[in-house]
Amino acid sequence: MSTLVKAPKNGSLAKTNSGSLTGTFPTWSSWIDDLFNNDLPSIFRPNFNTGLSLPMVNIIELDDAYHVEMAVPGMKKSDFHIEIDNQVLSISSEIENNEETNEDNYTRREFGYASFKRSFSLPETVEEDKIKANYVDGILKLELPKKEEAKRQPPRKINIS
């Protein structure tokens, strides 16, 4: 599971359990990412297709909100399932494609299936009731507004008495 925090230099957004007594363990999501990105010999990577594809995500923190952008071209708005459960934002999709062609002397049938699910732990500063999402030109964008008390305040001058 990933967390909406500043990403370390290695690009990973996965949160580890660094505060626990049992040590630091990778999260399930980061372990899967590592398995498919690092543990396979390079000769398998270009041709290895598991049907599991994790879209790339950009997370931007502004003074008043977080913006999440996910590149998922070729989909429709109705293909996405976005939900929040116990401060966890999940974005998922399942697409099934079946095509059959009947000609005089042959039948061609092709089918495909693709799915993904990305989950992020939301900070307590996000106003869950005001999250908005839109999908334009292959980019899914979510705006996660911050609670008023979490918004960055402009500097104020303090007078000396």
Question: What mean pLDDT is predicted for residues 89-99?
Answer: 87
Domains of the chain: which residue ranges? 2-149
**pLDDT at residue 105, rounded to an integer:** 79
* pLDDT above 80: residue 32: no
C-alpha span between 140 and 115 (Å, rounded): 15
Phi, psi of 23 (to 5 degrees): 105, -170
Average pLDDT estimate for 48-62: 73
Mean per-residue pLDDT, 101-114: 80
Averaged over 134-147, what is the pLDDT? 94
| Strand (E) or helix (H) holding 37 | helix 28-38
Instruction: Flag whether the pTM goes above 0.85.
Output: no
Tokens matching residue 9: 């230099």
Q: Taking residues 150-157, what's their average pLDDT?
A: 84
Residue with tokens 């401060």: 87
Distance between start and end Cα atoms, the chain: 50
Instruction: Using alpha carbons, select from 13, 8, 4 the residue that is nearest to residue 33.
Output: 13
pLDDT of residue 1 exceeding 80, the answer is no
So what's the pLDDT on residue 29?
57
Protein fold of 2-149: Immunoglobulin-like (2.60.40)
Name the band, by pLDDT with cuts 50, 70 and 90, for residue 14.
Answer: very low
Query: Are the C-beta atoms of 101 and 107 separated by less than 8 Å?
Result: yes
